[in-house]
Amino acid sequence: MAVSMFQKRMALRRKLLILRNLTNSKSVKKSSIMKDAFLHIYKLKMRVEAMKKEYLDLMQHFEEVKVEKMGEGLFGIRVTKCCKIKGKDSMMVSLLEGFEGIGVNVMQAKVSCNYFFHMEAILKPQSVSLLDVDHVKVITQAIHHAINSTHQI
């Protein structure tokens, strides 16, 4: 009976020593080590919450727009934007209206709205005269305008 009590006591001391080392506690009393451990856990929790908030703030401003000439009067676009769930539908509508406004047709499109709004599309100008203009710049500006107009809604 005395051996098992001794083993339990030694196991408890080992665990307290590990806890003391993990929390960088200078205390030797069991109650003080436990208080230091709770304080350490609380500080870690606060740091995680601050990191989550910072991450969410950064993600709200994440935006990627790429427009490339593909040859034969076609343009490939890739738009990725982090937005609230309600803004995803209006973003799609806004982009399509913007394309119509600058005179390009959407030949093919792939859209995903899981965590981000993501659109890949192939665009073709409605007339050959539009190819003379630096259409990459015009399409990029139209996409940025469409994204900004959805934030104002």
Please report, as a single letter, which amino acid is at residue 104: V
- Given a contact cutoff of 8 angstroms between Cβ atoms, the answer to whether 33 and 17 are in contact is no
> Looking at the DSSP assignment, which residues form a beta bridge with residue 74?
71
Distance CA 17, CA 32 (A): 12
Nearest to 116 by CA among 85, 148, 143, 93: 85
Q: Tell me what pLDDT residue 72 has.
A: 77
Q: What is the mean pLDDT of each run of 10 residues along the chain (153 residues)?
A: 83 91 88 91 95 81 83 85 65 85 88 83 78 73 81 50
Both tokens assigned to 74: 């076609």
CATH architecture type of domain 63-151: 2-Layer Sandwich (3.30)
pTM of the model: 0.57
Distance CA 76, CA 8 (A): 69
